[in-house]
């Protein structure tokens, strides 16, 4: 089978022929349009072309972690949680479910003439920006802070969306291109200044992979400027897309083109913005600027060729989706494919596999009989919250199980009494307006002291952490202004601690929190993220030992005041690769109920510059469990300078700053399932690119010298070793 934009299963020549076919269909349709009709088709809300029998189509559709904003759909854990699974295969499965439900919604809606937004098959997902700052509200939409992990998961999700049929199942769109990760309050006027090194090493790799490996159908430009030029009309960024061979459609973020003249002040009015954006290659406008395209044309500011070129790019994608064909294999997908038992089971599995155990002094899983547990206190503002199941950009589930309900579902099997108190408001000083401050703490303490164990559900939700304009956040336009939990929760947490009773803390957030106090004072801490439609059942099953926590952190958990200014886009001091201080919990960290041993590491070098890293993995615990194996590579900075290295590089000492190189970088990962006592031989292919180094001018080179390859269930850093009591295996090769 052949397709546009996904898992091509034919020769490169065959792929080119199929793409040419869709391009020719688009050219013919656009050629039959008047210029005014063609101009109307590069708006996100494209009206019908009745004369040609082409119905209206809205390009704006969302599928970040499930089909979003279109009614009932399967709600998976938020994207940052999906990243915590370190599982490309499951990301592709989830992408396929999103595509299936989107096709079903599209097919059923168009039967009824419903051509509204969110009911189409051009998904504006995934978000593959780098979560470089833990305060960014939209970081929850990403796959974390590491460019390699982001690239691998982004490629898998896009392939799942676009499918492997004769047509694309749905069209993926990688966003926000590029160098975009807050601050939200400034995004419409902000200039993200990035070095060439940071562009090549951090901000662009996932987008390059989306184009080169997943053949993504769409690229969405960001709101901000990048090094002085608007991201949606940026010479450097557009040149990168050409260099990578991108041949899909480029769309602006919503109202981003309006920012060019109103906020960035790069142009003086809407007509100049049209001339700039269309000329640079922005094909589709999400917003209202392109409604004035014909006025710009009449004034000689743009050409007919530019208008038709953009329309052809858009219609090539629509042709690849089968919109103008009678034989599209996805046209019969109907309502029966939405909200199925199978997709619900996959969502539950993702909720379990994304949960990260941060601390456990032995209290977990609960030993009901030995500890004589007859009463459990469930305390906290996220215990009954639906918002912490959903995260932002979500659909509506028919199967939600809150944290409290999940605990109740399990407790009844043991005849355990569950007592509940909200404990405090999520962020206000009181729950009832006319009450004194902290009006729920006394109730909470009564229940805690009357119970055998307390499960404390705290965190944030999308109403105070998210995208500017999509949130009621009163603090920082969707960003966090502190790494701590809101003061209302901190006061409640400290009061619970004073009881001296056993406490398990469960955190629902889309980002890292400084839990220094909680780590010091509580028995167990679990990061549950925005956990999906049945996230409450998943966390309860983990607490009661019916399931095992299966995730690792895709972001660093910093302490307060450990991060640089949010407006500084330099990677120095950011993420595990460049952070020189000791974090609370490192990237790649996560505990298990089981125990794994790594041994017999070997490295085999291939002729193409890649290597195969092999090792034995043994499950030494008493639980059948998954382990996430992590492979990191580091280069000795001193050897980069002293050994002569690659003689073709001139002035290396001025082009490479050893202090600005990563300590090590993730180069591979594998999720392995082992029975208790089982040993498996694991082999992971590490590409030659993982042995390259990016110079200060952005050139990526492979330097002669020694490379340390680390293998383990963690990073090779001192803080992780302190937390786990384990060290990575290490092997050194010379290039």
* CA–CA separation, 452 and 378 (whole Å): 11
The CA distance from 90 to 96, in Å, is 10
Q: What is the DSSP letter of 227?
A: T
Q: What is the Cα–Cα distance from 628 to 575, expressed in whole angstroms?
A: 20
* Separation CA 506–CA 377 (nearest Å): 13
Separation CA 538–CA 531 (nearest Å): 8
Q: Do 379 and 444 meet the contact criterion of CB atoms below 8 Å apart?
A: yes
Work out the burial of residue 13: count CB atoms within 10 Å of its CB; fewer than 13 is exposed, 13-18 middle, 19 or more buried.
exposed
Q: Read off φ and ψ for residue 400, nearest 5 degrees.
A: -65, 135
The two counts, helices (H) then strands (E), for the chain are 23, 23
What secondary structure, in 3-state letters, does 564-616 show? Answer: CCCCCCCCCCCHHHHCCCCCCECCCCCECCCCEEEEEEEEEECCCCCEEEEEE
Annotated catalytic residue within 87, 133, 198, 253: 253
Contact 139, 183 (CB under 8 A): no
Joined tokens for residue 478: 């969707």
**DSSP code of 555?**
S
Tell me the H-state helices in 4-87. Answer: 12-31, 35-40, 79-84
- Give me the residues paired with residue 629 across strands: 670
Query: Is residue 519 among the annotated active site residues?
Result: no
Of 127, 149, 141, 140, the closest CA to residue 202 belongs to 149
Q: Where are the alpha helices (DSSP H) in 369-480?
A: 387-390, 403-411, 441-449
User: In sequence order, what are the residues at sequence separation of 6 or more whose Cβ sits closer than 8 angstroms to the Cβ of residue 494?
Assistant: 517
Q: Which two tokens stand for residue 653?
A: 């000492």
Beta partners for 616?
599, 681
Q: Which residue has the tokens 């490169």?
A: 12
Rg (CA), the chain: 26
Q: How far apart are CA 90 and CA 171, in angstroms?
A: 19
Cα torsion 551, 554, 559, 560 to 10°: value is: -130
Strand order in the sheet with 249-251: 173-177, 218-221, 249-251
Distances (CA, A) of 471 to 186, 462, 489, 588: 15, 7, 20, 30
In angstroms, the first-to-last Cα distance of the chain is: 41
What is the rounded distance in angstroms from the CA atom of residue 186 to the CA atom of residue 263? 10
Catalytic residues: 253
């Amino acid at each position: 089978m052949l397709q546009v934009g996904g898992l091509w299963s034919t020769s490169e020549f065959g792929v080119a022929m199929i793409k040419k076919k869709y391009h020719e269909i688009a050219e013919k349709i656009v050629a039959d349009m008047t210029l005014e009709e063609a101009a109307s088709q590069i708006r996100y809300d494209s009206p019908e072309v009745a004369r040609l029998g082409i119905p209206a189509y809205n390009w704006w559709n969302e599928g970040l972690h499930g089909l979003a904003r279109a009614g009932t759909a399967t709600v998976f854990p938020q994207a940052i949680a999906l990243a915590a699974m370190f599982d490309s295969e499951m990301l592709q499965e989830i992408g396929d479910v999103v595509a299936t439900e989107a096709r079903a919604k599209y097919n059923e809606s168009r039967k009824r003439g419903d051509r509204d937004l969110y009911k189409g098959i051009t998904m504006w997902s995934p978000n593959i920006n780098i979560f470089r700052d833990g305060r960014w509200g939209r970081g929850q939409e990403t796959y974390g802070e590491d460019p390699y992990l982001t690239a691998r998961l982004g490629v898998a999700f896009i392939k799942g969306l676009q499918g492997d049929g004769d047509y694309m199942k749905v069209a993926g769109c990688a966003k926000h291109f590029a160098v975009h990760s807050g601050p939200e309050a400034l995004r419409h006027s902000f200039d993200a200044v990035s070095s060439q090194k940071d562009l090549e090493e951090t901000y662009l790799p996932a987008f390059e992979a989306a184009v080169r490996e997943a053949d993504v159908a769409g690229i969405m430009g960001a709101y901000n400027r990048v090094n002085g030029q608007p991201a949606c009309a940026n010479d450097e960024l557009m040149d990168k897309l050409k260099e990578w061979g991108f041949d899909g459609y480029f769309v602006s973020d919503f109202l981003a083109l309006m920012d060019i003249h109103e906020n960035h002040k790069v142009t003086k009015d809407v007509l100049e913005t049209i001339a700039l954006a269309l000329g640079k290659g922005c094909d589709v406008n999400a917003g209202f600027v392109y409604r004035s395209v014909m006025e710009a044309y009449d004034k000689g500011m743009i050409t007919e060729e530019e208008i038709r070129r953009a329309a052809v790019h858009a219609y090539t994608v629509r042709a690849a989706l089968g919109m103008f064909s009678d034989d599209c294999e996805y046209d019969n997908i109907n309502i029966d494919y939405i909200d199925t038992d199978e997709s619900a089971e996959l969502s539950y599995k993702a909720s379990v596999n994304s949960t990260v155990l941060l601390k456990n002094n032995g209290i977990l899983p609960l030993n009901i009989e030995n500890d004589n547990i007859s009463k459990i206190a469930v305390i906290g503002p996220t215990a009954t919250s639906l918002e912490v199941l959903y995260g932002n950009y979500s659909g509506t589930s028919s199967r939600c199980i809150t944290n409290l309900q999940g605990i109740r579902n399990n407790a009844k099997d043991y005849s355990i009494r569950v007592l509940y108190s909200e404990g405090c408001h999520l962020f206000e000083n009181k729950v009832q307006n006319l009450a004194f401050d902290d009006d729920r703490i006394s109730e909470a303490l009564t229940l805690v002291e009357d119970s055998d164990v307390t499960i404390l559900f705290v965190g944030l939700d999308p109403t105070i952490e998210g995208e500017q304009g999509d949130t009621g956040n009163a603090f920082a336009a969707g960003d966090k202004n502190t790494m701590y939990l809101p003061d209302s929760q901190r006061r409640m947490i400290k009061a619970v601690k004073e009881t001296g009773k056993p406490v398990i803390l469960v955190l629902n957030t889309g980002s890292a929190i400084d839990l220094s106090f909680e780590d010091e004072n509580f028995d167990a801490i679990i990061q549950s993220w925005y956990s999906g439609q049945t996230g409450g059942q998943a966390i309860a099953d983990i607490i009661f030992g019916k399931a095992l926590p299966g995730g690792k952190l895709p972001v660093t958990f910093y302490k307060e005041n450990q991060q640089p200014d949010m407006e500084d886009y330099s990677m120095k001091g950011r993420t595990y690769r460049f952070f020189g201080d000791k974090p609370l919990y490192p990237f790649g960290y996560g505990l298990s109920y089981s125990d794994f041993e790594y041994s017999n590491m070997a490295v085999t070098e291939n002729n193409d510059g890649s290597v195969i890293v092999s090792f034995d993995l043994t499950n030494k615990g008493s639980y059948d469990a998954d382990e996430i194996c992590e492979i990191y590579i580091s280069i000795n900075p001193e050897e980069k300078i002293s050994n002569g290295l690659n003689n073709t590089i001139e002035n290396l000492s001025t082009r490479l700053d050893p202090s600005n190189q990563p300590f090590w970088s993730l180069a591979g990962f594998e999720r392995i399932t082992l029975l208790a006592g089982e040993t498996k031989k694991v082999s992971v292919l590490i590409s030659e690119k993982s042995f390259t180094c990016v110079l200060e001018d952005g050139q990526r080179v492979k330097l002669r010298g020694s490379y340390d390859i680390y293998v383990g269930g963690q990073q090779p850093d001192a803080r992780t070793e302190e937390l786990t009591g384990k060290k990575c295996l290490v092997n050194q090769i010379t290039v």
